[in-house]
Amino acid sequence: MRSIYWFRSDLRISDNLALAKAMQASDSLMGVFILTPDTWKAHDAAPCKVRFLLENVSELSKELWKYGVPLLIRRGPSFSHCPSILDKLCKQYDIESLYFNHEYPLDERERDNAVGEKLSGYVAMKGYHQHLVFAPGDVLSKQGTPFKVFTPFKNAWIVKAHNEQAWQAAGLIRKKFKAEIEPDKVPSQLKDFTGQVIDLMLDPGEKAAQKKLKHFCDNKLYDYSEGRDKFNVDGTSLLSPYLAQGVISSRQCITAALESSEIRDIDSMKNKEGAATWVSELIWRDFYHHIIYFNPDISRRKPYKLKTDAIPWSYDSVLFEAWKNGMTGFPVVDAGMRQLLKTGWMHNRLRMVTAMFLSKILLLDWRLGEKHFMSHLIDGDFAANNGGWQWSASTGTDAVPYFRIFNPFTQSQRFDPAGDFIRQYCPELAHLDNKKIHDLHAFGVDVDALGYPQPVCNYKAMRQRTIDLFKEL
Ligand SMILES: Cc1cc2nc3c(=O)[nH]c(=O)nc-3n(C[C@H](O)[C@H](O)[C@H](O)COP(=O)(O)OP(=O)(O)OC[C@H]3O[C@@H](n4cnc5c(N)ncnc54)[C@H](O)[C@@H]3O)c2cc1C
């Protein structure tokens, strides 16, 4: 059988079900990656994310070639061009089967449906579910409906994972193909994504991701429950850029975490706090993908809780600019926002603090913040980003109660007590002592003299206003 494997957000060879099936069933196999810069732009992909993507595709191409599988590169420029590109390729090379792993946001699903229609009748579409541990629809309530809240989802997920041993990563089919053509050259950059290019110093490719996973499991997993919350401590895995592009799989992460904690099965994790907490974060990843799958209106920019659109969200450009540029006059918020601009990544707790500050203190539309994050994050992922924003803004499923608003002063006192993180990103505050640095006004710091902005709002008054507005809903 002659087949094509279509790579999208699964840029790896190991633990890749669709690729293993394609290798097993085919006599001739080629890969294709389609560059769709117009769609990526419409989806607000960050330049640093696209550059990392190209580097990962390039690494993948080298590795695939070792199996005699050439990776072809085609240019869209948008999703709507995928059907004709694949049709042309399939005809040119007499292809009988097209293999791929499913993606769950709406545009991606519509693209795949369009490809299926175009190729119907002469190419078999062989789609598999491997982006998550469980595909949408695999984890349902006893009534057979999708879960709306995380904890029962997680409990059902663990039972199913245990029963089916579904958390275990698969090995690779070892096979060498006789290539008919050479791989294409992968471009190192794309015209529309050269602006803000940031180096988080991540090496691309599957081997680099596996190395990072091992380093995390050997050095940080044990203390993860504690370490993950501290902004100034490098306590998390930093695997999100790899997971978002499928350079590594959730299953590989879970398998490595359990092995390194000497846990034989997923349901006995409870005694191992670090591993249990980390795996729980990976279950959030599944959860948010299931949410967007079952609620396609989220992809149309609607909130999960529709009634929250009655909140009179503000579009004040002065406030929005101050937030984007880390110039709100609230040190921990500014440090977080500057970390994003400088590195293309932000610590999870800071994502929550800054997202709540935008949506619940400045009362700006959470979708403005969601878009800004997406256009700067190297790990930008529609489901996780949207889920995180709607959780923070209390508009989503399983959202934080509207009256729970992370206080930026206490958050920074608790999770960056020495103020090191603030000092790193707000150098104008670097000489202040450990107390003053968190709450400048409580200690009468003359911020004008430091060249640091005055607070953009009265925190207490704005907080109360938000609570009153949500109460009215
Ligand atoms: C407002 C907001 C926006 C976010 N945007 C994104 C995004 O665009 N892309 C993204 O991957 N994550 C996003 N997150 C989730 C989380 O902040 C990042 O996954 C995490 O900070 C990545 O760092 P890490 O790899 O070191 O995570 P670890 O702490 O090591 O966690 C391991 C993995 O679990 C997954 N994960 C962790 N937390 C979450 C979560 N809350 N929801 C879903 N998956 C999670 C990620 O794949 C992560 O790499 C967002 C969270 C918030 C509050």
pLDDT tens by residue, 212-261: 999 999 999 999 998 999 988 889 999 999 999 999 999 999 999 998 88
Which pLDDT score, from 0 to 100, does residue 263 have? Answer: 79
Catalytic residue list contains 284: yes
Please report, as a single letter, which amino acid is at residue 266: I
Which pLDDT score, from 0 to 100, does residue 268 have? Answer: 75
Catalytic residue list contains 65: no
Q: How many angstroms separate the alpha carbon of residue 345 from the centre of ligand 1?
A: 10
For residue 131, the tally of other CB atoms under 10 A from its CB is 21
H/E stretch holding 35 reads strand 28-35
Which pLDDT score, from 0 to 100, does residue 165 have? Answer: 85
Please report, as a single letter, which amino acid is at residue 344: G
User: How many Å apart are CA 415 and CA 408, to the nearest integer?
Assistant: 11
Which pLDDT score, from 0 to 100, does residue 266 have? Answer: 79
Q: Please give the DSSP secondary-structure letter assigned to residue 99.
A: E
Residue of the CA atom closest to atom 23 of ligand 1: 238
Catalytic residue list contains 348: yes
Ligand 1 pocket mutation pick from 240, 284, 382 by most atoms within 8 angstroms of CB: 240
| Phi, then psi, of 446 in degrees rounded to 5 | -80, 90
Q: How many angstroms separate the alpha carbon of residue 256 from the centre of ligand 1?
A: 18
Ligand 1 pocket mutation pick from 228, 252, 281 by most atoms within 8 angstroms of CB: 281
Q: Which domains does the chain have, with CATH numbers?
A: 2-131 (3.40.50.620), 132-168+206-294 (1.25.40.80), 306-472 (1.10.579.10)
CB of 252 within 6 A of ligand 1: the answer is no
In ligand 1, which atom is closest to the CA atom of 379? 9
In ligand 1, which atom is closest to the CA atom of 355? 1
CB of 284 within 6 A of ligand 1: the answer is yes
Catalytic residue list contains 271: no
User: How many Å apart are CA 136 and CA 152, to the nearest integer?
Assistant: 15
Residue of the CA atom closest to atom 44 of ligand 1: 285
Catalytic residue list contains 391: no
Q: How many angstroms separate the alpha carbon of residue 244 from the centre of ligand 1?
A: 9
Rg (the chain; Cα; Å): 23
Which pLDDT score, from 0 to 100, does residue 375 have? Answer: 96
Q: How many angstroms separate the alpha carbon of residue 432 from the centre of ligand 1?
A: 31
CB of 245 within 6 A of ligand 1: the answer is no
Structure token digits, residue 45: 């992909």
Q: How many angstroms separate the alpha carbon of residue 225 from the centre of ligand 1?
A: 15
C-alpha 302: how far from its chain's center? 19
Which pLDDT score, from 0 to 100, does residue 473 have? Answer: 86
Q: Tell me which residues of the chain have a pLDDT lower than 50.
A: none
Q: How many angstroms separate the alpha carbon of residue 389 from the centre of ligand 1?
A: 11
Catalytic residue list contains 366: yes
pLDDT tens digits, residue range 316-337? 999 999 999 999 999 999 999 9
Contacts of 446 (CB under 8 A, 6+ apart): none
User: Which residue(s) pair with 29 in the sheet?
Assistant: 3
In ligand 1, which atom is closest to the CA atom of 380? 8
Dmax (CA) of the chain? 75
User: How many Å apart are CA 230 and CA 235, to the nearest integer?
Assistant: 7
